[in-house]
Amino acid sequence: MLDAGPDEDGAVGDAGMTCSSDSDCADDGVFCNGTLSCVGGTCVASAIPTCNDGVGCTRDECDPTSDMCQNIPQDSACPTGNVCIPGSGCGIAPACEFDTDCGDGVFCNGVEVCVMGMCASPMDGLSCDDSNSCTEDTCSESLGDCASTEYPDIATNPMRCGTGANDCVVCPEPAPALHQIAGCSMGACTLECEMGYGDADGDMSNGCECMGAAMDDLPDMMFRDTNCDGIDGDVAIGIFVAPTFVGGNDANPGTMAMPVATIARGIELAASSGRVRMEVYVSAGTYMESVVLRNGVSIYGGYLATMGWARSSSFVTEIRGGETAVSATGISRARGAALHDRVEERDRARDELLRCAGVERHRRGAARGEHDHRR
């Protein structure tokens, strides 16, 4: 199989600052964020308060105002006629005659009142909304008070852009064809250019222009279109291969609009093109053929012809060639010849020997990987 991504299942999580000891990890001093520790050379958060009290009807949260956990009873989480009792869970609501008969001693779930002979708290608890879209509103049980704190990034965050005067908004995203992204500057929504694009003509109203049109665009593991021609790779260089049901035909010239149907024909056209870069771009599908690699010709999988030749690790190209799926001899300048079988992926040492030998894979031979290394 040919695909756009590596075979290794090496998931990489969010990485923090590098470190050699815990002292290299600066603590922000915020209780609710936990503490930072040095683990495997990276600062990672630990001892983050969960605040779980084990009671299903309470809202468990960490209060940054008091640096304490709080567990707010929520009557709405209990069946009709029951209330949330701190420390125990849902139970029968206390009987009452007047509002003054009620009171559970919890501030953040609101003021209890007598309803049809039973004490009840407001369904949504106490509202601390200060009607300002630029603030974060919280209730502190330990302080017995509401707190409204202005978001610190309202002047630059396009998700809540404003000046603080109840004017914070989500900045609208421009049309994709304009190659722009929403921005926020000094509390006002702005437009910025996508990476690789710039305002070359000084007119943001017509979108951003490609700033890398003259760059080489080798297909890469991040699927980047660095020369702005619409694909990962170079439309003017590549020979395109697609299954017959999406228009592949070996009588075609192998362009993006008129792809050939077989990888063998694609390699033949690339090898005879006279180009410095001889590249074959193969759309997802199953190809019933035996492929013979040629010196200097690169083969890249992971494309999808029906989506404008978009490239992704989820678009898989498979070669089924009977006894021999892919073979090569005398490869000395092969970009695009890294071959190994998913079925035998665990035998790394054997795969490496096969790659170095030029690769002749029998029985269930299949090519899979980035297909880009040199001899």
Nearest-5° angle of CA 367, CA 263, CA 339? 15
Evaluate whether 281 touches 240 at the Cβ level (below 8 Å): yes
Please compute the mean of the pLDDT values over residues 79-100 and round it to a whole number: 89
Nearest-5° angle of CA 83, CA 86, CA 88? 85
Per cent of the chain over pLDDT 70 is 83
| Residues facing residue 285 across a β-bridge | 317
**Confidence grade of residue 332 (pLDDT, cut at 50, 70, 90):** low
Residues 348 and 260 in one domain: yes
Distance CA 133, CA 167 (A): 6
Q: How far is CA 370 from its chain centroid?
A: 20
Residues 335 and 254 in one domain: yes
User: Using CB atoms within 10 A of its CB, is residue 11 exposed (0-12), middle (13-18) or buried (19+)?
Assistant: exposed
Checking if the pLDDT of 185 tops 50, the result is yes
Last residue of a domain, one of 97, 125, 147: 147
pLDDT in the model for residue 346: 27
58 three-state secondary structure: strand
Q: 352 — phi, psi (to 5°)?
A: -65, -40
DSSP string for residues in 141-169 = TTTTEEEEEE-TTTTT-TTSBS-SSS--B
Q: Which residues contact 275 (CB under 8 A, 6 or more apart)?
A: 237
Residues 65 and 143 in one domain: yes
Q: How far lies 6's CA from each of 195, 310, 313, 317, in Å?
A: 25, 18, 8, 14
Distance CA 170, CA 189 (A): 8
pLDDT in the model for residue 309: 95
Q: 146 — phi, psi (to 5°)?
A: -90, 155
pLDDT in the model for residue 1: 57
Look at 321 and 159; give whichever has higher pLDDT. Answer: 159
pLDDT digits (tens, 9 = 90+) for 245-285: 999 999 999 999 999 999 999 999 999 998 888 999 999 99
Last residue of a domain, one of 101, 122, 147: 147
pLDDT digits (tens, 9 = 90+) for 262-271: 999 999 999 9
Residues 202 and 268 in one domain: no
Residues 175 and 136 in one domain: no
The answer as to whether 321 is a domain residue is yes
Residues 107 and 181 in one domain: no
On average, the pLDDT of the chain sits at: 81
The answer as to whether 229 is a domain residue is no
Q: How far lies 331's CA from each of 296, 323, 336, 342, 373, in Å?
A: 8, 21, 11, 22, 11
Residues 80 and 119 in one domain: yes
Q: How many domains does the chain have?
A: 3
Residues 136 and 178 in one domain: no
Strand 285-287 versus strand 317-319 pairing type: parallel
The answer as to whether 3 is a domain residue is no
pLDDT digits (tens, 9 = 90+) for 124-165: 788 899 999 999 998 988 889 998 999 999 999 999 999 999
Q: Which domain holds residue 118?
A: 55-147
Checking if the pLDDT of 340 tops 50, the result is no
pLDDT in the model for residue 272: 94
Secondary structure letter of residue 23 according to DSSP? G
Starting at the edge strand found earlier in the chain, the sheet holding 297-304 runs 239-241, 278-283, 297-304, 310-311
163 three-state secondary structure: coil
263 three-state secondary structure: helix
The winner for highest mean pLDDT among 177-181, 341-345, 350-354 is 177-181
Secondary structure letter of residue 76 according to DSSP? G
